[in-house]
Amino acid sequence: MSAVATRTLLELDDVSVEYALRDRVVRAVDGVSLSLAPGETLGIAGESGSGKSTLANAILQILKPPAQLAGGRVLFEGRDLAAMKPDELRRFRWRHVSLVFQSAMDVLNPVMRVGDQFVDMLKAHEKVKKADALQRAGDLFELVGIDRNRVRAYPHQLSGGMRQRVVIAMALALRPELIVLDEPTTALDVVVQREILQELQQLKDELGFAVIFITHDLSLLVEFSERIAIMYAGEVIELASGETLFRDPRHPYTVGLMRSFPPLTGPLERIAGIPGSPPDMAAPPSGCRFNPRCPHCDPTDARLYARQTDERPRLREIAPGHLVACHLVEERP
Ligand SMILES: Nc1ncnc2c1ncn2[C@@H]1O[C@H](COP(=O)(O)OP(=O)(O)OP(=O)(O)O)[C@@H](O)[C@H]1O
Ligand code: SF4
Ligand SMILES: [Mg+2]
Same domain? For 51 and 120 the reply is no
- Helix H or strand E encompassing 224: helix 218-224
Does 223 reside within a domain? Answer: yes
Same domain? For 125 and 236 the reply is no
Separation between Cα atoms, residue 228 and residue 299, nearest integer Å: 32
C-beta of 122 in contact with ligand 2 (< 6 A)? no
* Nearest CA, atom 4, ligand 1: 19
Burial class (CB in 10 A: 0-12, 13-18, 19+), 53: buried
**Structural domain span for residue 164:** 107-173
Same domain? For 91 and 235 the reply is yes
C-beta of 101 in contact with ligand 1 (< 6 A)? no
Domain count of the fold of the chain: 2
Same domain? For 86 and 211 the reply is yes
Does 147 reside within a domain? Answer: yes
Does 122 reside within a domain? Answer: yes
Please report, in tens digits, the pLDDT of each residue of the chain (333 residues total).
Answer: 444 446 899 999 999 999 999 999 999 999 999 999 999 999 999 888 999 999 999 999 999 999 999 999 999 999 999 899 998 998 888 899 998 875 656 778 999 999 999 999 899 888 999 999 999 999 999 988 899 999 999 999 998 888 888 988 999 999 999 999 887 656 666 677 778 788 888 889 889 999 999 987 788 888 889 999 999 999 999 999 999 998 999 999 999 988 876 555 544 444 457 888 899 999 999 999 999 999 999 999 999 999 999 999 999 999 999 999 999 999 988
Does 294 reside within a domain? Answer: no
C-beta of 327 in contact with ligand 2 (< 6 A)? yes
Domain boundary among 173, 190, 221: 173
* Nearest CA, atom 8, ligand 2: 294
- Helix H or strand E encompassing 316: strand 316-319
Does 321 reside within a domain? Answer: yes
245 C-alpha to ligand 1 centroid (Å) = 25
Domain boundary among 173, 207, 222: 173
Domain boundary among 126, 142, 173: 173
